[in-house]
């Protein structure tokens, strides 16, 4: 995929830089956009996701929910430059993971080391913010009952053993990359991965005493959704790795699919439950952002609209109907939104990928390449299996080390008090 | 002296307050409360799941008055807070044995 | 105007790209800045404006207020790529509007299609975020009484029939553009347009039962004002369509005028009403941002300060004195701030435009071109008439289809409950 | 320092622009990044810092706290283009300050005036946002007791007489710059400067009646910390004055040091006080951001981690132990965090500066140049003395003009009511 | 008639409410309060400094009932609100001299 | 037994609480309320329009005590809550017929 993106870029860049692949030179415009994109994706986690999740949590658990995202960002930032980046992008070991120590504390990288058109260290940074948000996303399934110490252990292990490995498969020299799986900005690596980890962990943690989702502060939900959308422009359009037409298309597709998904969720909620809600519109926004992530640079706007609407509607049913029936306690619907819309997006990328947008290596079913759908499904399944198994192992280890759940009393009293000794509002 | 506690609909507060002032009531204390009664609560829907909110927002007005004024106050509150629909609320009359005005230390009816 | 901007740019760009107009090449620096600017302007609406308006609304109406902005953003995103962009920038039909179907679902645009120095699709995106915020702005006049379904109808119609047409006049090949009206970033197209629509709609909707403006949450007002200011740097400096000196001047002027307007509003409020308030400072910020919008790339910093102070003071009087006397119920003062400061900015652009800043085609009264003021006034009047009439027609259609106002009981209970069935805070 | 940065840049930029210093040409990529960085740093103050401080304040003082940051931003924006920029960057007068009237209202600057690779006016803008946040930072020490009118006077005087002078020493042609003091993005100029001003002013203002720090709204603290972190990428990576490897390194170092500091603060708080808190993690974030500021473009990632951890731990002790014992009432710990971590960062820059990162003019103790530490310490002391004395004088003037503190009754009732006549929440 | 005021732990509210409905209580009013008692408050630590929060969040339930129902209600509340740990709360019984239903103007026991 | 209800200025709460503890009061319940009385409210101004806020923030303290302690408690509250300015508040004494400690089921004076 990385190679693909580069070849797309080279098509678009004016003649003077056609030699880019032979002898790299720094492009300051592309570098400016990747610096900006890195900052935007950082904002998605701290404070975007933290407040989105926090607003949805119960009043007595909001700070713990925020703390889970904040600390995940901090811990994974550190592990990433020790071994994470190496596992993801180091020389491949059997197409399964990269050499963990190849970039140990970024040894050998100076400001003038380039990675194609941008500084090498900027690639480290941009990939870092992807790793951090993926881990933080998982927390949404676990809130209101998990020990903070257990979450720290989970964060360290999952951030080293799961995320970078799947990133290697798809974006490094891994086997999915070799098979031509399309994942523009991380539908599989980020969202399916986090969604499955959320589901498996939620099952192992067990249900909360009070599983109601009555948001303590919907203004934070709206704020979080807005910051996530804003940051996602960096996530998706930054994944073009250049300030060019591919980036612009990815941004526009992201916007269109998200708008369509929000409208889709709102309408189906209106028909099914009687009213269109702000929490619903915000949830539809996230579903759309997730679904367009793998497709953003590959589909045309009609494809983007269709993907958005399908994601909005399906995630609504997953969350409002399926979860209720199945009875697992995925507190903030990480599986229902990131898992389900991630899978939808990954597969539909194989359907709608339009070579006029993404170039000759990104051709979907509708444009005569049914095999792409199969490739996509293989990618999805591989991720589900690996993420599911590894999450179970890691949760098991955390349980052994610290125990998983707070005491029943503490759960009732709220984790803000039991884990942090503080209160969100004195107003 | 008596304390008159009225549980009313929040949007009636201003009207009731004004009416009480008009009949010469010089003080009252108001608390935001939640009421449960015959009036059915509503449901809130988040992500397609319904939650029943059976406590409804109400306002409690407390007015301490001389015995003579009790009927007048009840009358005024009943009239102004009434919409005729379920959930209009209740008035309770409770005996008060003494009143103190903190500022002056005065006791009894003069302190009301 | 577009043409003008390009000619300014060409003055500034180094020799090597002087052929830009003959054969376009992509400039990655300019593209990076326009990508960033598009994201910044998006943030203005979702969640910036939504929270600014939401914080000012009553507690029981905050979510409905937020929903109006969010859904306007989503709906106009979709209509824009169907017909909106064509109406605004398609081949002109009598200098009145463009061919609606010329860019139907962006047909024919690929990532390598250029619009001068940037990808064509990026122009679509950047213009899209302008369209969305204009519609969302209008909602501030209508809150706390309008049916959500009526708002959806308004949004669709106004986003297709009003905004793109006025955009065509000023920035497309329309008659105002042909006459040399100056509007750097949308004072007329965005703010006067929205301000008049707000006023006309507020008159047709009628007064709320309780017209008090007692903000439920001033921290959201401050947050919203801050995000709007931040995003406005993309709005104004992005309108230079390049990362160059014109963009930098536009950014600095935006900052200076806004600071001056906030100070101006604060001081006049202090004298007139006894205290300087945070809601006042935040309102002054918006007034300044609005007034400098048409002038940002044309005036020098002294012009910017004067425009800012005048806007802050006049909007204060419009809101605090005139509105009270006139008795219309423009709930969040869209007319008083966007309309009034928009008109002030548009006319003063004709006074202060300094050719040393904006080039030889942007000369104001003070620099020897009194005719520019006349041209500006014509632009203002044309917009007022068209926006006023069309808004009335559209509100009338919405009334026929769904009715305009919620039931009196629902208004008392709050629209969060009646329209969305949810509550902002459970804290 | 400015000269140093430029020479670093010239090492990294491809051959074609090697003549940059002889004849400047505008680089659109660098310009795009500086435009973005300016916007990011603006966001740090309005609304980032305002909400961070506001959330930590008491419920009855939150709006006054927000107003202090907002109005500082506005006032310093204006003074900066009148005399501030001249004092900082005008022709030096005895290496002490620059000619105040050299850039009076930016006379002579047009959009095509360049400052090396970027528009000259963009340098004004980027430096402006630094000046504004420095003044706003000081307010955290003074809240909950200072008259708003006294704060306005302080803001005007300090923004003219203190910040630009210290900026001149370090970044203009001042004596510290001449002696080779290293301050990549403003550890001395911004943070030590603000920290000392906070301490001195807090001592002169005296203790509040109620010195408890019980945040009224921790969600705002988390939001503010997140926005500050996001904006700080512009602060530090923008200080490379280019979109290049130096900027990327500065961004990554900023991220790593901040993560390390947050983890450090959290762990020491956990051990010392029993629980890891969200206020603690957020405070650690700020400590880390402050400490890495002078070092961001000079140290390698291991240096960044060490600086971060030391800053997090030391600021915790300064705030939790030292302040309690010393008994001064630095309300929101501007000295404990910005002063202490600023000093740590400034000195450790002299220890860890790695020529492989920052070039041959930025060599620290560990790489064989112990003299750098001495130079750093001289810079710290000069700043402490000047900032301390001048702050005392300015506070004294404010006292004479308006009095410093609100009446005791007003302090009890809250400054939102007494100074602004409004209430933050009606919820 | 009597007003029964029960100060209980917040998380017991739903249980108590359900139990009261089950025994036929048709209305009640709930207020968020802060309690000080034998149950020790906790400390909150911000930036390393400890603050003692000695008021704990409690919920006050007010139910006005006929004299005959007093014991039943006390019984039900005591049972359901009990955890056996300090801080479970108190019940106070207060005389009520009259009750009015605002909607209809009915007085006395029928209005409860 | 009596319930003493005192409506006081919020910033006096800590002082009153400490004084009550000093004289051996073991429990109390506090509610945030809004008061209307002789003390005039203030006006809030948003964008130049004035709104009269005639309800002022007050705190209600409820303490149930044995009959013997009533005077002592009134005394202490009056003293500590007094500023001498309008709006200092009121104390109401209300009869309490029974008290129950939920944790143990104890009744009467021992339960206070
Ligand atoms: N027995 C009761 N004790 C205390 N409060 C009551 C009681 N019955 C009703 N209330 C209060 O009065 C409010 C209105 O009562 P409800 O039964 O809904 O309507 P109505 O007063 O019209 O009969 C309730 O929400 C509750 O706050
Ligand atoms: N004398 C009293 N008057 C009013 N309220 C009281 C009194 N004593 C206790 N309370 C209330 O009851 C709550 C529980 O009391 P506490 O002494 O902590 O435990 P317990 O009820 O188990 O003895 C207190 O938090 C307070 O709200
Ligand atoms: N008759 C009353 N009934 C209930 N509460 C009252 C009454 N009179 C006063 N209050 C309460 O006492 C508070 C103080 O009363 P106010 O008349 O302002 O001053 P003062 O107590 O000094 O005479 C009021 O804000 C209100 O909460």
pLDDT tens-digit profile of B72-108?
A: 999 999 999 999 989 999 999 999 999 999 999 999 9
Residue C173 has pLDDT above 60, yes or no: yes
- What confidence tens digit (pLDDT) does each residue in C345-355 have? 999 999 999 99
Task: Establish, for the pair of chains D and E, how many residue pairs have beta carbons separated by less than 8 Å.
Answer: 35
C414 class by beta-carbon count within 10 Å (0-12 exposed, 13-18 middle, 19+ buried): buried
B17, F36 Cβ separation under 8 angstroms: yes
Q: How far apart are CA C304 and CA C295, in angstroms?
A: 8
C166, C189 Cβ separation under 8 angstroms: yes
Q: Quick one: which of F30, F5, E91 has its CA closest to B98? A: F5
Q: Nearest CA of chain E to the CA of D271: how many Å?
A: 10
> Whose structure tokens read 């300050």?
D97
Q: How far apart are CA C143 and CA D261, in angstroms?
A: 45
Give the per-residue pLDDT at D324.
Answer: 86
Region C270-296: mean pLDDT is: 96
Give chains near B: 3+ CB pairs under 8 A: A, C, E, F
Task: Give me Rg for the CA atoms of chain F.
Answer: 17
Of the listed ligands, the closest to the CA of B90 is: 1
Top residue of B11, B41, B51, B88 to mutate, by most chain C CBs within 10 Å, is: B11
Q: Which residues pair with F28 in a beta bridge?
A: E36
Beta strand A114-115 with B42-46 is: unpaired
Q: How confident is the model at residue F46 (pLDDT cuts 50, 70, 90)?
A: low
B55 contact A CB<8A: no
Residues in CB range of A381: below 8 A, 6 or more apart: none
The encoded tokens of residue A92 equal: 């491949």
A342, A334 Cβ separation under 8 angstroms: no
C141, C201 Cβ separation under 8 angstroms: yes
Give the per-residue pLDDT at B42.
Answer: 77
Residue D337 DSSP code:
I
- Please report, for residues A389, A422, C365, the alpha-carbon distance to residue D187 in angstroms, rounded to integers and kept in the order given: 47, 31, 46
Residues in CB range of C86: below 8 A, 6 or more apart: C98, C99, C100, C101, C102, C103, C104, C164
Region D415-426: mean pLDDT is: 90
A299, A152 Cβ separation under 8 angstroms: no
Q: Do C105 and A302 touch (CB under 8 A)?
A: yes
DSSP D265-278: HHHHHHHHHSS--H
Q: Quick one: which of A39, A29, A30 has its CA closest to A231? A: A39
Q: Quick one: which of D70, F46, F44 has its CA closest to C319? A: F46
Give the per-residue pLDDT at E112.
Answer: 87
Chain D residues inside the 8 Å CB shell of C247: 31, 35, 119
SS3 sequence, C367-421? HCCCHHHHHHHHHHHHHHHHHHHHHHHHHHHHHHHHCCECCHHHHHHCHHHHHHC
Q: How confident is the model at residue C245 (pLDDT cuts 50, 70, 90)?
A: very high
- Across the interface, of C272, C277, C321, the residue whose CB is closest to F46 is C277
Residue D35 has pLDDT above 50, yes or no: yes
- C-chain residue closest to B10, CA distance: C413
The encoded tokens of residue C351 equal: 């006074």
The encoded tokens of residue D276 equal: 């890891």
3-state secondary structure of B46: strand
- E-chain residue closest to F62, CA distance: E35
Q: How far apart are CA E14 and CA A210, in angstroms?
A: 11
Average pLDDT over chain D reads: 93
Query: Is the model more confident about E38 or about C371?
Result: C371
Residue C45 DSSP code:
I
Give the per-residue pLDDT at C9.
Answer: 38
Q: Do D244 and A420 touch (CB under 8 A)?
A: no
Residue D11 has pLDDT above 90, yes or no: no
Give the per-residue pLDDT at C422.
Answer: 87
Of the listed ligands, the closest to the CA of B32 is: 1
The encoded tokens of residue D143 equal: 């809240």
Average pLDDT over chain C reads: 93
- Across the interface, of C27, C36, C59, the residue whose CB is closest to D426 is C59
Give the per-residue pLDDT at D22.
Answer: 45
Residue of the nearest CA to atom 20 in ligand 1? B87
Chain E touches chain C, with at least 3 Cβ pairs below 8 Å, answer: no
DSSP D15-58: GGGTTTTTS----HHHHHHHHHHHHHHHHIIIIIIHHHHHHHS-
HSE-up of residue C8 (Cα within 13 Å, Cβ side): 31
- Please report, for residues A370, C365, F75, the alpha-carbon distance to residue F19 in angstroms, rounded to integers and kept in the order given: 81, 73, 10
Residue C176 has pLDDT above 90, yes or no: yes
> Whose structure tokens read 């001498």?
F84
Residue E39 DSSP code:
S
Q: How far apart are CA A191 and CA A197, in angstroms?
A: 10
Chain C residues inside the 8 Å CB shell of F47: 213, 279-280, 283, 316, 319-320, 333
Task: Establish, for the pair of chains B and E, how many residue pairs have beta carbons separated by less than 8 Å.
Answer: 78
Q: How far apart are CA D74 and CA D151, in angstroms?
A: 13
D288, D259 Cβ separation under 8 angstroms: yes
HSE-up of residue A8 (Cα within 13 Å, Cβ side): 30
- What confidence tens digit (pLDDT) does each residue in D243-273 have? 999 999 999 999 999 999 999 999 999 999 8
Residues in B lying within 8 Å of F, measured between beta carbons: 3, 17, 26-31, 64, 94-103, 105, 111-112
- Across the interface, of F54, F55, F78, the residue whose CB is closest to B102 is F78
Q: What percent of chain D has pLDDT over 90?
A: 88
Sign of CA dihedral B90, B91, B92, B98: positive
Q: Which residues pair with D93 in a beta bridge?
A: D97
Q: Do F48 and C213 touch (CB under 8 A)?
A: no
E32 contact D CB<8A: no
Rounded to a whole number, what is the distance in angstroms from the first to the last CA of chain F? Answer: 9
Q: How far apart are CA A292 and CA A345, in angstroms?
A: 6
Q: Say how far residue F1 (Cα) sits from the centre of its chain.
A: 17
Give the per-residue pLDDT at A23.
Answer: 62
- Please report, for residues A211, C130, D219, F100, the alpha-carbon distance to residue A412 in angstroms, rounded to integers and kept in the order given: 12, 47, 21, 25
Q: Which of F7, F12, F32, F37 to mutate to test the pocket of ligand 3 (most atoms within 8 A of CB)?
A: F37
A114, A34 Cβ separation under 8 angstroms: no
Q: How far apart are CA D132 and CA D342, in angstroms?
A: 18
Region F12-24: mean pLDDT is: 94
Give the per-residue pLDDT at C3.
Answer: 42
Q: How confident is the model at residue C423 (pLDDT cuts 50, 70, 90)?
A: confident
Q: Quick one: which of A224, A247, A223 has its CA closest to A126? A: A247
Q: How far apart are CA F75 and CA D329, in angstroms?
A: 36
* Ligand 2 pocket, residue F28 CB under 6 Å: yes
Q: Do A283 and B50 touch (CB under 8 A)?
A: no
Give the per-residue pLDDT at F44.
Answer: 67
Query: Is the model more confident about F50 or about E111?
Result: E111
Mean pLDDT is lowest, of A59-73, C10-24, C117-131, for C10-24
A410 class by beta-carbon count within 10 Å (0-12 exposed, 13-18 middle, 19+ buried): middle
The encoded tokens of residue C238 equal: 């992005």
Q: Do F92 and B95 touch (CB under 8 A)?
A: no
Q: Nearest CA of chain E to the CA of B67: how many Å?
A: 12
Residue F56 has pLDDT above 90, yes or no: no
Q: Which residues pair with E32 in a beta bridge?
A: E59
Residues in CB range of D385: below 8 A, 6 or more apart: none
Average pLDDT over chain F reads: 91
Q: Please state at what angle helix A218-237 crosses helix A245-273, rounded to 10 degrees.
A: 150
Give the per-residue pLDDT at A20.
Answer: 37
C282 contact D CB<8A: yes
Give the per-residue pLDDT at A21.
Answer: 42
Beta strand F98-101 with E90-95 is: antiparallel
Spacing, Cα C425 to ligand 2 middle (Å): 29
- What confidence tens digit (pLDDT) does each residue in B14-58 have? 899 999 999 999 899 999 999 999 888 777 777 766 777 788 889
Residue F48 has pLDDT above 90, yes or no: no
427 residues of chain A, pLDDT tens digit each: 444 444 433 333 333 333 334 468 999 999 999 999 999 999 999 999 999 999 999 999 999 999 999 999 999 999 999 999 999 999 999 999 999 999 999 999 999 999 999 999 999 999 999 999 999 999 999 999 999 999 999 999 999 999 999 999 999 999 998 999 999 999 999 999 999 999 999 999 999 988 888 899 999 999 999 999 999 999 999 999 999 999 999 999 999 999 999 999 999 999 998 899 999 999 999 999 999 999 999 999 999 999 999 999 999 999 999 998 898 999 999 999 999 999 999 999 999 999 999 999 999 999 999 999 999 999 999 999 999 999 999 999 999 999 999 998 889 889 998 999 888 998 7
> Whose structure tokens read 């009434």?
B82
Give the per-residue pLDDT at C7.
Answer: 40
Q: Nearest CA of chain F to the CA of B102: how many Å?
A: 5
Region D338-363: mean pLDDT is: 97
Give the per-residue pLDDT at C18.
Answer: 35
Give the per-residue pLDDT at E77.
Answer: 98
Q: How far apart are CA A219 and CA C66, in angstroms?
A: 8
- What confidence tens digit (pLDDT) does each residue in D152-163 have? 999 999 999 999
Mean pLDDT is lowest, of A48-62, C402-416, D115-129, D249-263, for C402-416
């Amino acid at each position: 995929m990385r190679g693909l993106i580069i070849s797309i870029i080279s098509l678009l860049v004016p003649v003077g830089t056609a030699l880019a692949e032979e002898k790299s030179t720094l492009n300051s415009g592309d570098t400016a956009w990747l610096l900006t994109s890195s900052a935007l994706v950082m904002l998605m986690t701290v404070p975007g996701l933290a407040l989105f999740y926090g607003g949805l949590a119960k009043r007595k658990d909001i700070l713990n929910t925020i703390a889970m995202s904040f600390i995940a960002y901090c811990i994974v930032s550190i592990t990433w430059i020790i071994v994470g980046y190496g596992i993801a992008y180091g020389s491949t070991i059997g197409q399964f993971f990269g050499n963990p120590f190849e970039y140990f504390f970024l040894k050998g990288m100076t400001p003038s080391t380039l990675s194609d058109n941008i500084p090498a260290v900027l690639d480290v940074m941009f990939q870092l913010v992807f790793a951090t948000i993926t881990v933080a996303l998982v927390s949404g399934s676990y809130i209101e009952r998990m020990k903070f110490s257990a979450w720290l252990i989970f964060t360290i292990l999952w951030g080293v053993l799961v995320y970078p490995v799947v990133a290697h498969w798809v974006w490094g020299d891994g086997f999915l990359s070799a098979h031509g799986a399309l994942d523009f900005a991380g539908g599989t690596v980020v969202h399916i991965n986090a969604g499955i980890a959320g589901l498996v962990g939620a099952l192992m943690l067990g249900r909360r005493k009070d599983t109601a989702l009555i948001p303590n502060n919907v203004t934070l939900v709206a704020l979080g959704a807005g910051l996530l959308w804003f940051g996602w422009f960096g996530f998706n359009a930054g994944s073009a790795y250049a300030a060019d037409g591919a980036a612009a298309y990815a941004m526009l597709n992201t916007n269109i699919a998200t708008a369509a998904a929000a409208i889709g969720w709102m309408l189906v909620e209106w028909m099914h439950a009687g009213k269109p809600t702000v929490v619903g519109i915000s949830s539809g926004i996230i579903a759309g952002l997730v679904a367009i992530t793998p497709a953003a640079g590959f589909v045309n706007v009609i494809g983007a609209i269709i993907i958005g609407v399908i994601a909005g509607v399906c995630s609504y049913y997953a969350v409002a109907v399926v979860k209720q029936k199945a009875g697992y306690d995925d507190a903030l619907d990480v599986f229902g939104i990131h898992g389900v819309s991630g899978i939808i997006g990954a597969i539909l990328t194989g359907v709608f990928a339009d070579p006029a947008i993404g170039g000759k290596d990104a051709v979907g079913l509708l444009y005569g390449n049914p095999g792409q759908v199969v490739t996509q499904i293989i990618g999805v399944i591989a991720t589900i299996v690996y993420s599911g198994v590894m999450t179970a192992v890691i949760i098991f280890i955390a349980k052994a080390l610290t125990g998983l759940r707070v005491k029943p009393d503490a759960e009732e009293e709220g984790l803000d008090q039991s884990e942090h000794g503080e209160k969100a509002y004195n107003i | 002296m008596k304390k008159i506690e009225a549980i009313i609909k929040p949007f009636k507060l201003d009207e009731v307050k004004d009416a009480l002032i008009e009949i010469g009531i010089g003080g009252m204390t108001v608390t935001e409360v939640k009421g449960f009664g015959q009036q059915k609560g509503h449901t809130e829907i988040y992500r397609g799941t319904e939650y029943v909110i059976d406590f409804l927002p109400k306002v409690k007005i407390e007015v301490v008055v001389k015995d003579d004024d009790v009927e007048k106050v009840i009358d005024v509150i009943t009239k102004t807070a009434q919409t005729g629909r379920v959930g209009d609320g209740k008035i309770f009359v409770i005996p008060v044995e003494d009143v103190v005005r903190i500022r002056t230390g005065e006791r009894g009816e003069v302190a009301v």
